[in-house]
Structure 1
């Protein structure tokens, strides 16, 4: 397929503990060396308010075959968080006419093994039917908040998404 960039070769910004760009590297190198980078997490809800949940394909570079309650991914070099959120949501949901996701908050995620990345959490309403990328999404469905809360302890989740979910619940409880 011409024009398609291998995700491992995609160039991403390397950032410091204050989210200031200090360099660039291919995504595979960023992952292998544990370099701090940027990610966008988008909570997508349907018109009934249910949350888009999916299981990642086994071919994903990180967290293959795990469930996630966010779409999103790594912010490319030279790309803003907002642009990455819109691009990733459109790509993963397969919805071209998607409104720009609303930014909510940002936090520095630490995986406990010496790797961390800045994580910006967004929300978006999806009016059109979703057609998730088969390369990214092995299964998907829309769950109510109650169904999602029941599934959290039952299913295996991507750890950064689970942390973003916990922080999003606390953010909403504070009424922010």
Structure 2
């Protein structure tokens, strides 16, 4: 989505209170909606990528999610599928499954973040406008990279929340795959 794309602006309870362009929302720290999709291949490895240098937010940083902003009038579910297919460069992806939602707020940014998971059995062909580098990493490989690479802060916050949820008592354990 470009800086001119229109987004729903939401309140602290995620209710729509207006609309603004993406550029206005970012410049004025207006609360809007975003989706994060953790995409795993058939071996259970997670799609990880480095964002291109011209991205409006967090350029050239690494991310363990595909996703982006939710357009005006678009549902989280619709945005999750659209963003996952666009960034992975696939079509026919199964509907991503929602797993958690949280409000991401910093002095510079604030948005409602809906986190999804999807299995991608298709060969990926990531958008060159969005993705500068990519690989599917095992959880162990990702753990090693967490301290070595500079990650998008909102994705890192989502990742830690997802991991905490997965390791909480009574929750399913994360899927681990060794090379």
- After TM superposition, the score normalised by the length of structure 1 is 0.95
Distance across 2 between alignment mates of 1:162 and 1:169? 10
Distance across 2 between alignment mates of 1:157 and 1:151? 9
Query: Match for 1:87 among 72, 82, 85?
Result: 82
> How far apart are residue 77 of structure 1 and its match?
0.3
Q: Secondary structure at the match of 1:9?
A: coil
Q: Secondary structure at the match of 1:8?
A: coil
Query: Match for 1:171 among 165, 168, 179?
Result: 165
The answer as to 2:75 corresponding to 1:59 is no
Q: Deviations over 1:73-129 (max 9, x none)?
A: 000000000000000000000010100000001000112x15311000000000010
Q: Secondary structure at the match of 2:111?
A: strand
Query: Match for 1:125 among 119, 129, 147?
Result: 119
The answer as to 2:158 corresponding to 1:156 is no
**Structure 1: unaligned runs, 5 residues or longer:** 1-5
Instruction: Quote the residue 1:109 is aligned against.
Output: 104
Aligned ranges 1:72-83 → 2 under 5 Å: 72-83=67-78
Q: How many residues align?
A: 170
**Structure 2: unaligned runs, 5 residues or longer:** 173-179
Distance across 2 between alignment mates of 1:114 and 1:86? 27
